[in-house]
Amino acid sequence: MITAREDFGDLISNYLARVKAGLKGIDDGQQQEILAEIRSHLTDRIEQLKQQGSGSPTEDALTAMGDPEELSLQFISAAVVRAARSNFPWVLLRAASRLVFTGLRGTLVFLAGLFGYLTAIAFVGVAVAKLIVPARVGFWVGPHTLVWGYPAHTPGIHEVAGHSFAYISIILAFLFASGTTLLLKQLLRSPRAGKKALPRGSGLSLIGVGLG
């Protein structure tokens, strides 16, 4: 409940600070633009509500604006959606890194991407290593041992892939890279935010609009 004594400017500042806190991962210039636009909207909205006779225009304007944390998530989602169209791993991974600040799901998305691409790089690495030191690199199998690459000790284990090792490694690298790319594109495209896009029971009759 807000009393007349409370500073409405502080309410707006507090709201903007909460939005800003959720915008980590978005560059500073874009953050400032987002906050400036929200401030501009609130200024207009408060004036409008005053004219409509609202007893608590600032509070009403902030309520209409929506939860600041949810709003931040929607901006983050909007910021990464363009990247989701890219097929370049570094673009996707950079976009995913923005999600780290949004919570556990975002962190897991980024870590999944990082793991996938690093694994692909590792497969390429061992394929190249196979060409350089063919006798030491391969698919080594032994009692309680299974090594894809360069084993620390070779006694008691033997290599089973032979010359196919490099080819298989390259294929696995491709599968990991493309699989990770598809996964990231899908995860970045699926909106994390936006659950509160429309108030329940709003006046829109979509069937009427679309089919009427």
Partner 1 sequence: MLLMMGRVYDGRWEAQLRKGCLDLAILAALWDKRLYGLEILKYLQEKAGLEIVEGTLYPILMRLKQEALLESTWVSEAAHPRKYYWLTKAGRQRTLEMTETWEEFGQGISRLLASVKEKHR
Cβ at position 117, least distance to partner 1 in Å: 24
Query: Of the candidates 7, 37, 115, 128, which one interacts with partner 1 according to CB under 8 A?
Result: 37
Among 48, 145, 186, 190, binds partner 1 (CB under 8 A): 48
CB of 191 to partner 1, least distance (A): 9
Shortest Cβ 182–partner 1 spacing (Å)? 21
For the CA atoms of 70, 74, 80, 81, what is the dihedral angle to 10 degrees?
140
Residues 146-205 that bind partner 1 (CB under 8 A): 193-200, 202-205
| Closer CB to partner 1, 45 or 98, in the complex | 45
What burial letters (b/e) apply to 113-147, b meaning 16+ CB within 10 Å? Answer: beebbebbebbbebbebbeeeeeebbbbeeeeeeb
In whole angstroms, the minimum distance from the beta carbon of 88 to partner 1 comes to 16
Regarding 74 and contact with partner 1 (CB under 8 A), the answer is yes
- Among all chains, which residue has been given the structure tokens 């509160």? 196
Nearest to 150 by CA among 169, 173, 167: 169
By CB under 8 A, tell whether 135 contacts partner 1: no
* Distance (Å) of CA 49 to CA 41, 53, 162: 12, 6, 76
Taking the least distance from each CB to partner 1, the nearer of 70 and 150 is 70
Cβ atoms of 62 and 15 closer than 8 Å:
yes
The distance of closest approach from Cβ of residue 23 to partner 1 in the complex, given in angstroms and rounded to an integer, is 11
**Beta-bridge partner residues of 158:** 141
CA 56 to each of CA 2, 53, 143: distance values in angstroms, whole numbers, following the listed order: 8, 9, 75
Are 180 and 186 in contact by the 8 Å Cβ rule? The answer is: no
Contact in structure between 35 and 43 (CB atoms under 8 Å): no
Nearer to partner 1, 34 or 126 (CB): 34
Q: What six digits make up the tokens of 151?
A: 């084993």
39-47, 132-140, 149-157, 163-171 -> range binding partner 1 (CB under 8 A): 39-47
What mask of x and - would describe binding to partner 1 in positions 3 to 32, judged by CB under 8 A? ------------------------------
- Interface positions with partner 1 (CB under 8 A): 33-34, 36-38, 40-41, 43-45, 48, 64-66, 68, 70-71, 74-75, 77-79, 81-82, 193-200, 202-207, 209-211
